Amino acid sequence: MNTTIKTPQQLADDARQTATDAIDTTRAYAQNAVNAAGEKVRELRHDAEPAVEQLAARVQQAVQRGLDAASTTSARAQRRLEQAADVTGKYIADQPMRSVLIAAAAGAAITALIVLASRRGDDY
């Protein structure tokens, strides 16, 4: 069993990296969707009338607005996560004994839930 204890800074860094990875993944997924939609539109242009081009432009605008909204929301979420990590780190630094007791209680509760869940699985 790994008993490595992370510092508040390491926890904050892990949280920031997770948020950054989520933002990058979301952007890549959205960009792939935009690229795929654009490619499909180019294929259809040869056979479609001008109304389809207008529709395609609207779809691309909607996708771009979605990308912008996702980027804004992701950035906002990352800032809030960083603030939470900073507050948590400060609390741990100010209240080290209480923090250890809370962590121990949380670990015990999670262990109890896992044990309970594994026993329920055996009952069936």
- The C-alpha atoms of residue 107 and residue 61 are separated, in whole angstroms, by 47
- The C-alpha atoms of residue 121 and residue 93 are separated, in whole angstroms, by 40
The residues, ordered by sequence, that sit 6+ positions from 37 with a Cβ below 8 Å of its Cβ are 56, 59, 60, 63
pLDDT attached to residue 121:
60
**pLDDT tens, position by position, 37-84:** 888 877 776 666 677 678 878 888 988 888 888 888 888 888 898 898
- The C-alpha atoms of residue 119 and residue 124 are separated, in whole angstroms, by 9
**pLDDT tens, position by position, 14-31:** 888 888 888 888 888 888
- The C-alpha atoms of residue 19 and residue 26 are separated, in whole angstroms, by 11
Q: What is the DSSP string of 100-112?
A: HHHHHHHHHHHHH
User: Is the separation of the CB atoms in 24 and 104 below 8 Å?
Assistant: no
**pLDDT tens, position by position, 70-81:** 888 888 888 898
pLDDT attached to residue 48:
64
